[in-house]
Amino acid sequence: MFSYRHAFHAGNHADVLKHVVLVQTLVRACQKETPVFYIDTHAGAGVYALDGKAAMKNAEFASGIGKLWHEAHLPEPLVQYLSYVRALNTDGKLAIYPGSPFIADAILRSQDRLRLFELHPTEIGMLDRNMTELARDRRERGLPPVRGKRTIVEKKDGFAALKAQLPPPSRRAVVLIDPPYEDKADYRKVIEALQDAIRRFPTGTYLVWYPVLQRPESRRFASQLKQAVSREWLHVTLRVASPVPDGTGFVASGLFIVNPPWKLAESLKEALPLLVRLLQKDAGAGFTLEAGVAAPSR
């Protein structure tokens, strides 16, 4: 418990996929004037130093965001995603990587709300400090603040905290459910939290990230998610290499999106082939993209 630290994995292939989808989702959500309620159940530290000791240990970012950094000709969804990373690296050197809270803050407007939850004792302290520094920077630039009414950071179990946030006052929400899955029980907790959230607020957009691993819980997770919801869904996976025969190694991840925004699938169809080409480590790389509408229960 609490052994997972995202700083060791920041900017890897899974982050690239997750944040490409998150950017496209939030950008589309902001096309309507009604405020958006963004909820991050496992927010992490918010932002990561890629030249720090943790990120440099395995340098996973080098085979993730690092493969896109100097590419000049990219489809618009990847250009948009990279723009939020480049905004933190104005000298052109890739040294800082934004987590989902920083990406959401950059996209969301003054009328929108962010609710960030984290239970890890080290991560929550870093998240609080990072969001405070971001607020200070925004004040100095004359921009709307990011703390207080607009953004709230809390040390809470994100699964439990989600219940109290739904339905949101604006009746529009984007929820990112992104636990570390270091505990096998997380798979069950995700399904239970998702089903409860949909009961409380059926029209929200829910993004569930998960690692594609050889362990049984992971292999059956996508099927369980499809069976658990009675709403429109989109399912995407990105694999950068062939699975290791002994089942070790992390080469693929997935996102399950409930109530996906309009034309999200089209944007991913444009971005995924190039992501495979740029991030692939061997011929086993590839992606899947499928959509469906669960049949209503009788």
- Residues noted as catalytic: 178
What residue type is assigned to position 140 of the chain? E
CB 181 within 8 A of CB 187: yes
Residues 6+ apart with CB under 8 A from 33: none
Q: Which residues contact 248 (CB under 8 A, 6 or more apart)?
A: none
Cβ pair 254, 235 in contact under 8 A: yes
- CA–CA separation, 118 and 100 (whole Å): 12
For residue 132, CA distances in Å to 7, 15, 209 come to 19, 23, 27
Token pair, residue 119, equals 């239970």
Tally the residues of the chain: 298
Q: How far apart are CA 150 and CA 18, in angstroms?
A: 23
Q: Which tokens is 14 given?
A: 């899974």
Give SS3 for 183. Answer: coil
Give the Cα-Cα-Cα angle 150, 87, 96 (nearest 5 degrees).
Answer: 95
Q: Which of 60, 70, 73 lies closest to 94, judged by CA? A: 70
Both tokens of 213, joined, read 């691993």
